[in-house]
């Protein structure tokens, strides 16, 4: 991890209420360049709410998210104009959805899905766009002869790899992943995790990964935040949290995996 320039993203007191319900409450942390932060907890713990606030897709009730943009300098995500957030989402950020169909256009080809992302940052030369699309299909282990096939003809694992390729094609600084291996069978999940881990390390990506699966968190994340009822109850280095959990809730999560 490269820490000399300061954190890539930082939050202070991030809180989101849905009426009288707590989505997330008083969450503060820093994410450094090249670091992967895992957010774990049971369903309803606030993981996805926090991810939505971090990525600007959901407005917090209070608190702040500051991001150090490579082009715009340090900005406050939620006080910035909508056009700024759209620009970040097109170029410096990526979002990998649990259901890849939420992150793909099923009515256009695999190559066009990647191409549209590239056009969003100003690429216009068809030959260059197609060459770049082929390059990214290879990166995520999709055969080049599938470039003109529609995503609906792909398996779930291939759709997820295509979604990852679309997100990485613009060389983003930060990726938000929401249960990236959810819904896949065990063998496909293992291959996808190996692919993700290799890409993150090779490209020096920063990422925030939401998962209920502690095995996924251990494989991908440098640090963990454990959430319960919208609050972070424990945080630290991944191995430290999982091998020596301090909070009773974390101990329960870890022991339930060991007993499975």
Domain coordinates of the chain in residue numbers? 9-92+174-259, 106-171
Eight-class DSSP state of 55: T
Strands 9-18 and 93-96, sheet pairing? unpaired
pLDDT at position 2, please?
Answer: 44
Are the beta carbons of 68 and 7 closer than 8 angstroms? yes
pTM of the predicted protein model:
0.92
Looking at residue 258, its pLDDT comes to 59
pLDDT per residue, tens digit, the chain (260 aa), is 444 578 999 999 999 999 889 999 999 999 999 999 999 999 899 999 999 999 999 999 999 999 999 989 999 999 999 999 999 999 999 999 999 999 999 999 999 999 999 998 888 898 999 999 999 999 999 999 999 999 999 999 999 999 999 999 999 999 999 999 887 888 888 888 888 989 988 888 999 999 989 999 999 999 999 999 999 999 999 999 999 999 999 999 999 875 54
Q: Which CATH number fits domain 9-92+174-259: 3.30.9.10, 3.40.1160.10, 3.20.20.70, 3.40.50.300?
A: 3.40.50.300
Tokens of 116: 């549209």
Q: Are 225 and 29 in contact (CB under 8 A)?
A: yes
Say how far apart CA 52 and CA 122 lie, in whole Å: 27
What is the Cβ-side half-sphere exposure of residue 23, based on CA atoms within 13 angstroms? 19
- Please count the CA atoms within 13 angstroms of the CA of 240 that sit on its side-chain side: 8
Phi, psi of 101 (to 5 degrees): -65, -20
**CA distance linking residue 105 with residue 119, whole number of Å:** 15
Report the C-alpha gap between 186 and 116 in whole angstroms. 31
């Amino acid at each position: 991890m490269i820490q000399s320039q300061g954190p890539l993203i930082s939050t202070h007191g991030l809180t989101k209420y849905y009426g009288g319900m707590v989505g997330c409450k008083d969450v503060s942390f820093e994410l450094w360049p090249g670091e992967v932060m895992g957010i774990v907890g049971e369903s309803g713990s606030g993981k996805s709410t926090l991810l939505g606030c971090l990525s600007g897709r959901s407005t917090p009730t209070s608190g702040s998210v500051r991001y150090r943009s490579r082009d715009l300098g340090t900005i406050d995500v939620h006080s910035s104009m909508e056009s700024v957030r759209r620009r970040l989402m097109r170029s410096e950020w990526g979002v990998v959805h649990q259901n890849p169909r939420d992150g793909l256009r099923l009515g256009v080809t695999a190559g066009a899905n990647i191409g549209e992302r590239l056009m969003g940052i100003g690429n216009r030369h068809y030959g260059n766009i197609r060459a770049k699309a082929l390059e990214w299909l290879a990166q995520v282990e999709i055969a080049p002869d599938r470039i003109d096939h529609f995503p609906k003809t792909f398996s779930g694992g291939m759709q997820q790899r295509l979604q990852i390729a679309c997100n990485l094609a613009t060389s983003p600084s930060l990726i938000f992943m929401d249960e990236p291996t959810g819904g896949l069978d065990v063998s496909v999940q293992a291959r996808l995790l190996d692919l993700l881990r290799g890409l993150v390390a090779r490209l020096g990506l920063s990422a925030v990964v939401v998962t209920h699966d502690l095995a996924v968190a251990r494989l991908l994340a440098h640090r963990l935040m454990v959430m319960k009822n919208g609050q972070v109850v424990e945080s630290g280095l991944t191995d430290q949290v999982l091998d020596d959990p301090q909070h009773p809730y974390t101990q329960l999560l870890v022991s339930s995996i060991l007993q499975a």
